[in-house]
Structure formats: C-alpha cells, structure tokens
Structure 1
Amino acid sequence: MPAVDMTSAPPDTQMFNDTIQKLDPRFRNSDQVEPVFLMSPNKLQEYVYSLTEREDALGSAVVMGDSDITPFDYTVIGVNGWPDSYVMFTDPSNLAFGLFEQMEVDQTTDTDKVHENRLHSRNWMEGQFDFQIKELQAGVLVQNIG
C-alpha cells in the first residue's frame, strides 16, 4: 500500500493533498470507487479546529457548522477506535470486515427489565472484528501523524 509519512506533523491541507496525489488515478477518478479519508475523531477535530483559525469564508463556515469537512471534495470519516497516528484513504468497499475472535452470546431471562417489558430474554453479543484490505494499491496509508 502506498504511504505518506507526516513526520509527526498535525493533519493539515497539505497532508490531504499529498495523500490524494499518492493514490493511483484509476482508484480516485472513477464512477466505481469513491475513496474517503478514515481517521480518528481526535485528529479530525484537530483538523477542523485548524480550519477555524483561517480568516476567510471557509474558516467562518466551519465555526458556524455550515459546511461539511470535505478536503478537495473527498469525505472525511471519524472512526471510533482508529489509531491517532494513522489515516487511510480508500473506498470503504475495499475493506473486507470479519470476525477474528469467537462470538459470545449472553442471554438473560430473569431480570426486572425482561418481566416489565414482557420479553422472552435480553441478549448481548460480543466479538472482535478486524478488516483486510482487498486491493492494496487502491488506498494510501498516512503514517506518523503528530
């Protein structure tokens, strides 16, 4: 997978531009693929805050909540649990999700909540999942974000 090294710099417009330029054009200029930026909510907030410091219409729009954050017209998604030091630029359909640990199902039949709502039981499912990248050349990994 192509990579961009940020050398501990915070997320900025240059990072997004370098990442887009690194992706092979057949994976970014097509009707079949719609790449997005996947990053931690903390780093997304850091980037949004940096935009508010601009003294132009974009800075005002971000402060007022009038504008979605779409650098160069690509969507940015804050993914809970995503590591702060990485960003991935790829089409979400390029990621294959699956379980990598066994599932656990916990069933409760005798609680106040079950009886009050006339339920048969309450169930909790727990498992861990991960993803594989289908086509490595169809994405870019940004590393060492400060």
Structure 2
Amino acid sequence: MAGDGACGTEGFSANVYWDTNGTTTGAGGTSPSGTWDAATARWNTSSAGTGAVAAWAAGNAAFFSAGTDATGTYTVTVAGTHSIAGLTFEDGAVTLDGGTLNWTTAGNISVAASRTAIINSVLSGSVAVAKTSTGTLRLAAQPPTPCQRTLQSRRALWNWQNLRA
C-alpha cells in the first residue's frame, strides 16, 4: 500500500498490533502495559499475536492489541515522537501516556463499542483525523501550539483548541 498513490494512503506502511509477549498468542495478558519507543520489539503484523514482533516503523497504523486477552486496564507509555497513520482501540481500557503521535496521513482513531481509550500524548500533524466507532475517546494532552486539524465524530466537530483537559 505504501506509495500506491491512493488518496489518504501516502506514507502508510502496515497495520501492527501491540504485543508484549512475542510470538505467543495474544498481547501478553489482561494488562499488557509497556513502553512504545523506537527500539523495543512490541509490534506484531499478526492480529492474533502469533507472528514475529518488531520495533515501531514510521507510518504504521497502531492497534491495541494483538489477540483477545488484553481485556483489562493498561497504560502504554509513549517515548519520543512516532509517525502514525491511525489508532485503533479494540480491547481493554487503554491509556497512551506521554510523547507525541504525529499523523503522517489522514486517518482514524477508532474505539470499539463499550471501550474507553485515553490519550495523554500530544497529537500533531497537518492532516484530517476522524474519530470512528462508538467507544469513548478522552483527549487529555494539549498540543504545544494551536493545531489546524479537527477531530470529527458522527455527532460533533471540534477544533483542537476547544478540547481542554
């Protein structure tokens, strides 16, 4: 898909799944907390979590999490700045804390029904980002400067400067 020229896919690499237990099925238990940095292998291209894990690659879309075992509350500490193409929260109650998530292509933040995702990380970039699905999304961090991007929901449209913790 990368570089195929299709609208909204520039810079997109792959869907990858948070996975703290390597090739063992699942993400690593009910609460697979850990650090999202540039060097640690915590991302699996297998949605079941059975493939080889690798370090984050710029432009991927992050899914939380691999398999179906991450049903509890957990925190992923974001260290540094990571270029992303999307965020999907499928399992458990996930908090992303610290660091910066830089949107490289228009994308979505999807939160599954009956789930809650909290983002305490700075969201940056100059592309459109839409909130999809019916779960709850809480944005707590403020960008360091006013952001031109808008977060769109089915019911509301907000400017970032109106989203204050």
Structures share fold, TM-score greater than 0.5: no
Higher Rg:
1
The normalised TM-score by structure 1 is: 0.23
The normalised TM-score by structure 2 is: 0.21
Of structures 1 and 2, the one with the larger relative CO (CA 8 A, separation 6+) is 1
